Amino acid sequence: MAFMDYQGRTLAYRLLGPEAAPLVVLAHPLGMSQTVWDEVLPTLLSRYRVLTWDLPGHGGSAPTDGPLSAETLTSELLALVDHAGAARFHFVGNSIGGALGQHLLVHHEERLDAVVLTNTGARLGTPENWHARAKRVREEGLVNMASELAPRWFSDKTKENAALVAGWIAQLARTDDENYAQLCEMLAAFDMNDALRQADFSQRNAIHLLGGNDDLSTPPETLAQLAACLPGAPLEILASVGHVPPVEQPETMAKRLMQWLAPRRDDVGAHGVSYDEGLETRKRVLGAEHVERASKNAAELDQPFQQMITRFAWGELWGSQDLSVTQRSLITLAILAALGRDGELVLHLKTAHRTGVSQAELRQVLMHVATYAGVPAANHAFALAKQHGWGDE
């Protein structure tokens, strides 16, 4: 876990995976913490960089004096995304995390790629119930209410695991009372029905909705009402799942995310990948400064060439999720070393740290080059690697 100062308050977050991989942000439910995603992370990290964080007064994040709103929470999130250096990102939000996802769609759609909203709604519960809960929390404290509230998150099947339920009761009891109450008041005022219906979302935003058939807080009808505000967004309801799919059915959740977050390639054969998509991938892998230099240096002679490689090499090839950026980097290094393409090899050696290549992996790649393409080629590639920062680990 890492920590960042944000407006004089400490945020607890995790930023995992190669810098060059597409960023996925995961937002947790009220009263829980970023650890709800723990069993989903190994699958996502095979293809993505992942950012999770704790809401104010939750998990490892310090409480705030408030008041809290969707605007303050999304500002906090975007500060973390900027810290990660990402221009655009995928977003997955569970419960109040899904409420933040809706706010992002309406107010910061230009920064989003795929969006998955789980166990949430355009309106969550009633204002009266949220205000009543906030009042109780301030008077009684979560330490006294946790054993009542936490079991409501889970289906009967999940509650058969008594240790799991007890663990989350303990987590809720440690949550800051005042910040929890303030978030209840935020949800009392939350209503995105009109804003979502009036929004004109980009075709680049693939939106998916997910719920549980045993969810007491956001039952399937609540998800269906949200789907009506987002025409074309598919809705799936999981059996034997309550309010927290990443805890209750992590394997299913991970499988759905890998399907839904992957770039859409339905019409690639007919139209190809756009230049803008290729440019984003190229900047993420090679670094924005290098790409900007290459663009500035392009003349009338090679401008069409730059556009072609951006669309094809970076959009269609590196932009595909069939291989991870680390795997593609290793393949590229091996081919360039075997062919003796020094200019491109140096470039990819410099950026291999961004793609998650380790020194041990680079060593093995070049030893394969020695075996199958010749010792002189590998010897030369080893020398170039040492000249450009490898060998000091």
Would residue 381 count as lying in a domain? yes
Give the position of tokens 């999720």: 321
- Residue 267 in this model has a pLDDT that exceeds 60: no
d(CA 186, CA 125): 12
CATH number at residue 297: 1.20.1290.10
Mean pLDDT of 247-265: 92
Whole-number mean pLDDT of the chain? 93
State what percent of residues in the chain have pLDDT above 70: 96
Are 161 and 240 in a shared domain? yes
d(CA 174, CA 52): 19
- Whole domain around residue 321: which residue ranges? 269-387
Helix 127-140 to helix 142-149 angle (10° resolution) is 130
- What's the confidence (pLDDT) of residue 203? 58
- Residue 183 in this model has a pLDDT that exceeds 90: yes
Q: Would you place residue 35 in the very low, low, confident or very high pLDDT band (cuts 50, 70, 90)?
A: very high
Question: Do 218 and 103 form a contact (C-beta atoms < 8 A)?
Answer: no
Are 309 and 163 in a shared domain? no
What is the pTM assigned to this prediction? 0.91
Are 21 and 169 in a shared domain? yes
Q: Would you place residue 188 in the very low, low, confident or very high pLDDT band (cuts 50, 70, 90)?
A: very high
Q: What is the pLDDT of residues 315-371, one digit of tens each?
A: 899 988 899 999 999 999 999 999 999 999 999 999 999 999 999 999 999 999 999
- Check residue 58 and report its DSSP letter: S
Mean pLDDT of 211-232: 95
Are 369 and 255 in a shared domain? no
- Which of the residue ranges 65-74, 172-181, 256-265, 284-293 has the most confident prediction, judged by mean pLDDT? 172-181
Give the position of tokens 């693939």: 206
Q: What is the pLDDT of residues 108-138, one digit of tens each?
A: 999 999 999 999 999 999 999 999 999 999 9
- Residue 301 in this model has a pLDDT that exceeds 90: no
- What's the confidence (pLDDT) of residue 202? 62
Are 176 and 236 in a shared domain? yes
d(CA 381, CA 340): 8
Would residue 393 count as lying in a domain? no
Are 52 and 113 in a shared domain? yes
